[in-house]
Amino acid sequence: MSVQERKQRERADRERLIVTTARELAEQQGWDAVTTRRLAERIEYSQPVLYSHFRGKREIIGAVALQGAAEMAAAVRAATSAADGPRERAAALARAYLDFAERHPAVYDAIFQLDGGLAYAQEDTPEPLKDAFAALLETLGEVAGDGVHPGLFTETFWAALHGVATLTRARRLPPEDTELRVQLLVERLAVV
């Protein structure tokens, strides 16, 4: 391995460490607790080293969002691949999405609530975000119904799931009724 390759590997390792540490800190204490000073202390590097990877907290949030979007897409695909039939896949998708939001609230916020400097629904949208939407579209496009644009249906279904996730977490909706909400969404929106 050349010196250059070793340095690139070490740089990538440091970047992963920064993102992992930011994510852990955010999940434990919230995003307000994630500061460059605190991250530098936790990873045992100086703040200038941290700034050599990310210009600030916004870019770190963006990196966590991209990582989280890839994980969410994988979770959705795994759940839907185990289900038989279009409606069952839609219900499995909804459960996997809501489970991801519940288990990873800080990552979910990085993807959907916080400014990570990422472009959404545009030409320059990063690939992990496009793929997360594609993971939803693959299943929800099957149940959009005749004459309904699959992308528009996916956006609407996703918006409903996002509402359920955020309102449940904010204790505006009782969590014990989440499965009933999933069933209602699938029964009323999914056409087969």
Q: Which residue has the tokens 């449940």?
A: 168
Residues 6 or more apart in contact with residue 114 via CB below 8 angstroms:
31, 61, 65
Contact of 106 with 22, CB cutoff 8 Å: no
Q: Taking all residues of the chain, what is their mean pLDDT, rounded to a whole number?
A: 96
CA atoms lying within 13 Å on the CB side of residue 150: 11
Model pLDDT, residue 99: 98
Lookup: tokens for 48: 């200038």
Percent of the chain past pLDDT 70, that is, above it, reads: 100
Look at residue 184 and tell me whether its pLDDT is greater than 80: yes
Model pLDDT, residue 71: 98
Contact of 40 with 60, CB cutoff 8 Å: no
Condensed to tens digits (0 to 9), the pLDDT of residues 160-174 reads 999 999 999 999 999
The span from the CA of 110 to the CA of 67, in Å, is: 10
Look at residue 192 and tell me whether its pLDDT is greater than 80: no
Nearest to 133 by CA among 186, 85, 93, 79: 93
Q: Which residue has the tokens 């309102």?
A: 167
For 60, the enclosing helix (H) or strand (E) is helix 57-81
The span from the CA of 166 to the CA of 147, in Å, is: 30
The three-point CA angle 108-95-151 to 5° equals: 75
Condensed to tens digits (0 to 9), the pLDDT of residues 34-61 reads 999 999 999 999 999 999 999 999 999 9
Q: What is the pTM of this model?
A: 0.94
Look at residue 1 and tell me whether its pLDDT is greater than 90: no
The span from the CA of 81 to the CA of 135, in Å, is: 11
The span from the CA of 125 to the CA of 52, in Å, is: 24
